[in-house]
Structure 1
Amino acid sequence: MGLPSRRFGKGDPDVMMDINTTPLIDVMLVLLVMLIITIPIQLHAVNLEMPVGTPPNDAIKPEKVQIDIDEKSTVYWQGLPVNAAELEEKMNAISTMTPQPEVHIRPNKDCQYAVFANVLSSSKRKGLSKMAVIGHEQFVQ
């Protein structure tokens, strides 16, 4: 009795169409373990450096200076119109005060930007550090 030939004959086995997934799963598990090991441990704490000692006494509240710019680009210092020279002079005076006053600039949305920029740049030149532009809600459309 002879063995049937695998190359010729009706007893040819079907072609196997399945892929062997065992090596793929092994590689994925190794990669997963490596990933877990290499990820640094996340701390759920936030390190804060809090100040030590007593807080400073803010008994002296700084004065507030209001600078308005209307729609005709006229500059007002505490409600009184001023020109560029007077504005520079008044800024010189408040820059030497201790504590330095807070300067609130309130431009109108229709004023010229050059006038507003001039007020900001002159305050910067004079060393005024407590500046605020207020009334910016009017610029939001």
Structure 2
Amino acid sequence: MAMSPLGADAGNEPELMMEINTTPLIDVMLVLLIMLIITIPIQLHAVKLDMPVGPPPPQVVPPQVMKIDIDANDAIFFNAEPVANVVEAERRLQAMAALPLEAQPELHLRPDRLSKYSTVAGVMAAVQRNGLTKFGIVGSEQFIE
């Protein structure tokens, strides 16, 4: 009984399969994968922090607040003290920026509803140019109709 891979003189015998049966290989690979998944220790994704206990310490020094007001005539006021022009306001802001970060006051800008946008934007740009970060706009409820 000779084997002929091309089927030349096969006669009544069935044709031979020349391919590898991959089913047992896949089964072995799946078993190995399951064993690997089971044996790997579970990783915990947690960051351990030592949080402070109790109430927070009281704030030693309340922040200093500098109120910058712009009225309807576009006059600029620093803590109710009138400033001659935007150049003088810029000079005062430069003096505040020269202070250490902890000593810099909080700036509260309160523009009037009828003030010009260019004046308000000029003061805001001066604050940004000088690198002052403790800045906020207050009194915006007047713009709601």
Q: TM-score, normalised by structure 1?
A: 0.60
> Structure 1 49/114 Cα, relative in aligned 2: closer, same or farther at 3 Å?
farther
Over 3 Å off, 4+ runs: 47-51, 53-57
Alignment partner, residue 97 of structure 1: 99
- 1:85 pairs with 82, 87, 95, which one? 87
Alignment partner, residue 115 of structure 1: 119
Aligned equivalents of 2:140 and 2:47: distance in 1? 33
Query: What displacement does 1:80 show?
Result: 1.4
> Structure 1 60/51 Cα, relative in aligned 2: closer, same or farther at 3 Å?
farther
Alignment partner, residue 135 of structure 1: 139
Alignment partner, residue 13 of structure 2: none
Query: What displacement does 1:73 show?
Result: 0.7
Alignment partner, residue 65 of structure 2: 64
> Structure 1 53/125 Cα, relative in aligned 2: closer, same or farther at 3 Å?
same
Offset from partner CA, 1:87-132 (integer Å, 9 cap, x none):
0111011112232210000000000000000000100110110111
Aligned equivalents of 2:139 and 2:47: distance in 1? 35
Query: What displacement does 1:56 show?
Result: 6.8
Aligned equivalents of 2:80 and 2:49: distance in 1? 42
* Runs of 5+ unmatched residues, structure 2: 1-45
SS in structure 1 of the partner of residue 67 of structure 2: strand
Number of matched pairs = 95
Q: What's the Cα RMSD here?
A: 2.5
